[in-house]
Amino acid sequence: MGANSFMITFPQFFGRGCSKEAGEKLAAMGCKKVLVMHGKGVEAAGLPALIVQAIERAGLEVAENNKVESDPSDRIIKKIAAFGKDAEVDSIVAIGGGSCMDAAKCVKLLLDNGEPLETFYDISHPQRTAIPLITIPTTSGSGSEASKGAVVTDTVNGIKRVIIGAGTTPAMALIDPELTLGAPPKVTAACAFDVLAHAIDAITSKMTCRITQVVSYEAIRLMERSYKQAVEHGDDINAREDMQLASNLGGYGIGNAKCSMSHAFAHALGALYHVPHGVCCAIFTPASLEYVSDTCPEQIRAIAELLHAAYDAEDSTREIARKTGEQIRRMYRAVGIDDITAYIPDEEEAIKRLTPVAEKDIMALFSPRPIDDESCEWVIRRTYELARS
């Protein structure tokens, strides 16, 4: 197998207050009318107003749409794209979490290509790119600001899809930690474990490389250092800055190596039971890590050390992974994230329903061990065993 590569596809600006530069950046690209997309939660937190004012000060017209929902569906994306088309916008700014940034990537795709969204479920279908999209994250989780991919809820088939290509690629990201200061503790907690899952999935993915691993280790270090403080003291800008950086680095990790095992299960749980994405990630990271551990012993030790999992020098890789998984569970329980039993009390139901969806998830392609009936049963049973421990 040849070496896997690492690249950052578009500029990333990081700093307190940098979201207010969106207008100048768009004006420099010759844009005149921008679709500003966000959801009601971010609106209630007062975040879009200041950015819209700054865009207008830079001389652009704004068409604002506040209809973004969590885990954006095909239906809402089509509606916002129709709104953008009617308004004749020549650019997009997305202010929100992964849901908003992913929805905006798909809206851009539809405006650029004029073909049905479903066409692009086939990721080999050619995509044109035309109008610039600026991503502005308000959570520290998805890292979507940094990557080309978008996760969409396909309401026809009841599954999550990933769309990726030139049409979903942002022009730039403005990462402003101040925007996350008001994110609610529950959102902050869930998002932190999305970051951790991205880093671990990217490190263990078939597509990983040394650069991806270095970047992802740093994401884990920052996450471990500050996730609890960010949840418990949301106004601590230093903790928030650590988490924004960790999330952004996580985005490079999966932008290059893709997600792998934990996300195949997380997508299945999220699509079938409507559990927040980061919670799904927290629940499935421990057993997934353990299941793939023999494929990457050196990396498992590094992850264990970064998470301060107590293990003995003579422990096998599998044993270290098991202890690391238990440590991850302690970490998510410490910030109020429930185990799988809170969402699917019946273990047999979980195996029956999650298995076919996880097996078909696109992230299964990048898992270092096959996602099949046997592995699904093992990971799901182990996840219940941990929950009962």
Among ligand NAD, Fe ion, none, partner that 97 touches (CB below 5 to 8 angstroms by kind): ligand NAD
Q: Is 102 in the site for ligand NAD (CB under 6 A)?
A: yes
Cβ closer to Fe ion: 62 or 230?
230
84: closest CA among 44, 54, 114?
114
200: closest CA among 218, 214, 220?
220
Binds ligand NAD by CB under 6 A, chosen from 183, 261, 296, 331: 183
DSSP single-letter state for residue 95: E
Cβ closer to ligand NAD: 42 or 309?
42
Q: Looking up tokens 């182990």, which residue turns up? A: 382
Q: Is 113 in the site for ligand NAD (CB under 6 A)?
A: no
Q: Is 187 in the site for ligand NAD (CB under 6 A)?
A: yes
Half-sphere exposure of 165 toward its Cβ, with a 13 Å CA cutoff? 21
Q: Is 100 in the site for ligand NAD (CB under 6 A)?
A: yes
Rounded Cα gap, residues 280 and 272, in angstroms: 11
Among ligand NAD, Fe ion, none, partner that 39 touches (CB below 5 to 8 angstroms by kind): ligand NAD
Token pair listed for 299: 């990396």
Binds ligand NAD by CB under 6 A, chosen from 96, 170, 177, 253: 96
Binding site for Fe ion (CB under 5 A): 194
Cβ closer to ligand NAD: 196 or 304?
196
Cβ closer to Fe ion: 127 or 262?
262
Rounded Cα gap, residues 182 and 139, in angstroms: 9
Q: Is 278 in the site for ligand NAD (CB under 6 A)?
A: yes
Do residues 266 and 280 touch, judged by C-beta distance below 8 A? yes
Q: Is 234 in the site for ligand NAD (CB under 6 A)?
A: no
Using CB under 6 A as the binding rule, the residues of this chain from 42 to 61 that contact ligand NAD are 42, 45
- State the DSSP string of 156-212: TTTEEEEE-SGGG--SEEEE-GGGGTT--HHHHHHHHHHHHHHHHHHHHSTT--HHH
Among ligand NAD, Fe ion, none, partner that 139 touches (CB below 5 to 8 angstroms by kind): ligand NAD
- Residue 381 CB-density burial (10 A; 0-12 exposed, 13-18 middle, 19+ buried): middle
Binds ligand NAD by CB under 6 A, chosen from 65, 135, 139, 204: 139
Contacts with ligand NAD by CB under 6 A lie at: 39, 41-42, 45, 70-71, 96-100, 102, 138-139, 141-142, 144, 147, 149-151, 179-180, 182-184, 187, 191, 194, 254, 277-278
